Structures are given as C-alpha cells and as structure tokens.
C-alpha cells in the first residue's frame, strides 16, 4: 500500500499533537489528585527510586544483595497497596495515575510489527479525505445520496433507459469501492457534463480513503501542466516532480475531465506514460471524460485507446444535465 507523503506528514503531525494533548491531560489529572491526596506524590517518588536502590544493592562488594533486594520488594508491595487503598478511598480507579496509551496494539507509537497501526491509518484516512474535500465534495457525497430519480426511464437508442444505465453504473462503482485492493481495476467514465461522473468518483474516493488506501484526485488540465513543469521547469518548480510521483505511485488515481486540456504531442506522451506505467505497476485508475470512445481514439491515438479499451471497464453515462434539472426545480 502506497502512502502520499504530504498527507502522511499532516497525519503524523496531528497524531503527535493528539498524543501530546492526552499526555498533558493525564499529567493535569495526576497533579490534581496529588493536591487532593499529597501522600500519593510521596509514594510515587519512592516507587520511582526503586531501580536506583536495587542497582546500589546489587553493586555492593562483599555482601549478598538478596536480603536487601527482598526488603526493597516488600517495601514496594506495601507502597503499592497503600496507593491503591488511598485511591479507592477517594473514589479513584487503581490506575488513575497511570499514563495509559489509547491504542493497546501499538502503545501510541503508530506502528505495530513494522507496519502502520490501524490507529495511525485512521488519521491518514481523515487527512486524506480533508485533502480530497478541497477538490471534491467528499464529505457530503456518498452512494446513499446518489439520486437515481433524476434519470429518465424512457429507453434510449441502445434500448436501455438512462435510469437502467445509471443503476448499473452505481452498482459497478459500489462494488469497485467495496473490493478495492483485492486486484487492480480501472474505470473509464464517459458522458456529457452533469451526469454524475465526478459524484460517483467522489463516492469511490471516500470509501477507498476510509479503508486506508492513498487516493489522488486531480483534473487532466492540472495533471498535464504539472507533468510539463516537472520535465521542462524542474529547477524552477521542484514540487512538480513530487506531484508527478504522487500521480504515478498512489493506490488510486482519479483523473477528471480528460479532454478539457489542450491536447499536444507532449500531453499524448504524458498520458500514455501515466496510463501504461500505472498498468504495469498494478495501480488502479479512474478516468472521467466528456468525450465519446471515438473521440478519445481520434484525439489520443490508437495506442492509448487500446489500453483504455482493453484494461478499463467503460461506464457510459446518459440522461439530462442534473445540475440544470436541479436549478429548474428551485
């Protein structure tokens, strides 16, 4: 699983900030208890000094340290018993003074067994959704709110109604999101503007992000501009190369509005490298476009269209512009 470096830095920062806040809250609670029960602070100091006393006894020359060590252990047990009784008398739990980690699996380190712990993955998912929300309406758009009622039930030229087409598209996208990561899968969403391509892309992005996978969403115009900057103006715009690496390495790339960019030889080459490179790397991609399959082949060439046609599930979107329909309803 690949992680976006920028998102990970934000996640780690918030993870550490929350850990520090919990530690401060624990210390404040501890000091409050000490003020209420001063004897507890003295007990804690005596217990913390145990290791030094044990080392001192163990290093003495010419004496058997066993009796002294036994005495220290006995004294410690008595102190611990006294501490427990004092806490209980004042209505506190036996572990009220302890700094307990929120995550029992990793002890709040964020990593367990050399892998990222689920607790840190949750922070990553939250930060990624926040990042995606600046471009997509990930927060409010979900499969449950996708309105099939906006699509006509009258059969079209294909013999299927827009409603039937969209019922299939919705089912495919739901399955894609639910089973993401099991194997590389790619989607090509084509159709006129305002038919729900970006909406369903946002729904997929939300589910996949919540499952801990890295998702990068960007428009074709911006993606190819960053690719051009990385190739020809790398010294002036070093961040462009970082963006291109994100496009190439993320678990899911959502390339929106393919065809709105000015298509040049460079763009054709960059698109081929991006599509082919991600296929070879086993990375999943979603591409949305207002172009028809014939227009895609004409604009980008047979080599690119062959890969899109052979390696992508093509979902045709049909119907009337939903944004216009909603405005008419106001």
What is the Cα–Cα distance from 221 to 261, expressed in whole angstroms?
5
How high is the pLDDT of residue 7? 82
What does the chain come to in residues?
330
Does the pLDDT value for residue 330 go beyond 90? no
Cα 54 to the chain's mean position, in Å? Answer: 47
What is the Cα–Cα distance from 296 to 288, expressed in whole angstroms?
11
How high is the pLDDT of residue 135? 65
How high is the pLDDT of residue 305? 93
DSSP per position, 128-162:
HHHHHHTTS-TTT--GGG--GGGS--S--TTSS-H
pLDDT digits (tens, 9 = 90+) for 51-81: 666 666 666 655 666 776 787 788 888 988 9
Task: Domain ranges for the chain, please list them.
Answer: 5-89, 135-329
Sign of the Cα pseudo-torsion (291, 293, 295, 301, in order): positive
How high is the pLDDT of residue 37? 92
Q: Has this prediction a pTM greater than 0.85?
A: no
Compute φ and ψ for 313, nearest 5 degrees: -85, 120
Contact call for residues 166 and 148 (beta carbons, < 8 A): yes
Share of the chain above pLDDT 70, in %: 92
- Residue 281: pLDDT band with limits 50, 70, 90: very high
Does the pLDDT value for residue 1 go beyond 80? no
Strand 187-190 versus strand 313-316 pairing type: parallel
pLDDT digits (tens, 9 = 90+) for 92-118: 888 888 888 888 888 888 898 888 888
What is the Cα–Cα distance from 17 to 11, expressed in whole angstroms?
10
Element (H, E) at 318: none
How high is the pLDDT of residue 58? 60
Average pLDDT, the chain: 87
How high is the pLDDT of residue 279? 95
Does the pLDDT value for residue 133 go beyond 70? no
Element (H, E) at 111: strand 111-112
How high is the pLDDT of residue 44? 86
Strand 284-289 versus strand 252-258 pairing type: parallel
Least confident of 72-81, 132-141, 161-170, 198-207: 132-141
Rounded to an integer, the average pLDDT of 20-34 is 89
End-to-end CA distance of the chain: 45
What is the Cα–Cα distance from 323 to 192, expressed in whole angstroms?
12
Enumerate the β-bridge partners of residue 316: 190
Tokens of 102: 């929120």
pLDDT digits (tens, 9 = 90+) for 205-252: 989 988 888 899 999 999 999 999 998 887 788 888 988 998 999 999
What is the Cα–Cα distance from 89 to 159, expressed in whole angstroms?
79
How high is the pLDDT of residue 287? 97
Does the pLDDT value for residue 197 go beyond 90? yes
What is the Cα–Cα distance from 263 to 258, expressed in whole angstroms?
10
Share of the chain above pLDDT 90, in %: 45
pLDDT digits (tens, 9 = 90+) for 286-311: 999 999 999 999 999 999 999 999 99
Sign of the Cα pseudo-torsion (38, 42, 45, 50, in order): negative
CATH class of residue range 135-329:
alpha beta
């Amino acid at each position: 699983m690949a992680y976006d470096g920028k998102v990970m830095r934000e996640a780690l920062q918030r993870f550490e900030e929350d850990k520090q806040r919990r530690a401060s809250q624990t210390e404040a609670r501890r000091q409050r208890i000490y003020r209420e029960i001063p004897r507890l602070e003295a007990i804690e100091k005596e217990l913390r000094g145990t290791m030094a006393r044990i080392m001192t006894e163990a290093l003495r020359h010419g004496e058997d340290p066993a009796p002294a060590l036994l005495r220290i252990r006995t004294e410690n047990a008595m102190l611990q018993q006294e501490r427990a009784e004092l806490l209980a008398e004042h209505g506190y739990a036996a572990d009220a003074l302890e700094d307990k980690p929120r995550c029992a699996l990793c002890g709040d380190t964020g990593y367990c067994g050399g892998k990222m712990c689920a607790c840190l993955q949750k922070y990553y998912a939250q930060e990624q959704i926040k990042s995606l929300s600046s471009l997509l309406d990930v927060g409010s758009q979900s499969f449950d709110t996708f309105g099939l009622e906006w699509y006509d039930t009258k059969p079209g030229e294909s013999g299927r109604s827009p409603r039937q087409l969209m019922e299939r598209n919705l089912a495919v996208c739901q399955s894609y999101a639910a089973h993401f990561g099991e194997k590389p899968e790619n989607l090509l969403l084509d159709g006129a503007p305002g038919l729900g391509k970006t909406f369903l892309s946002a729904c997929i992005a939300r589910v996949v992000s919540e499952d801990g996978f890295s998702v990068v969403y960007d428009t074709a115009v911006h993606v190819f501009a960053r690719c051009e900057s990385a190739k020809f103006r790398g010294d002036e715009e070093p961040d462009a190369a970082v963006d291109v690496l994100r496009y190439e390495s993320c678990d899911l790339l959502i390339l929106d509005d393919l065809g709105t960019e000015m298509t040049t030889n460079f763009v054709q080459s960059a698109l081929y490298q991006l599509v082919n490179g991600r296929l070879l790397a086993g990375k999943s991609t979603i591409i949305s476009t207002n172009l028809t399959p014939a227009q895609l082949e004409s604009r980008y060439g047979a080599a690119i269209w062959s890969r899109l046609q052979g390696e992508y599930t093509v979902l045709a979107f049909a119907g009337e512009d939903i944004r216009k329909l909603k405005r008419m309803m106001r």
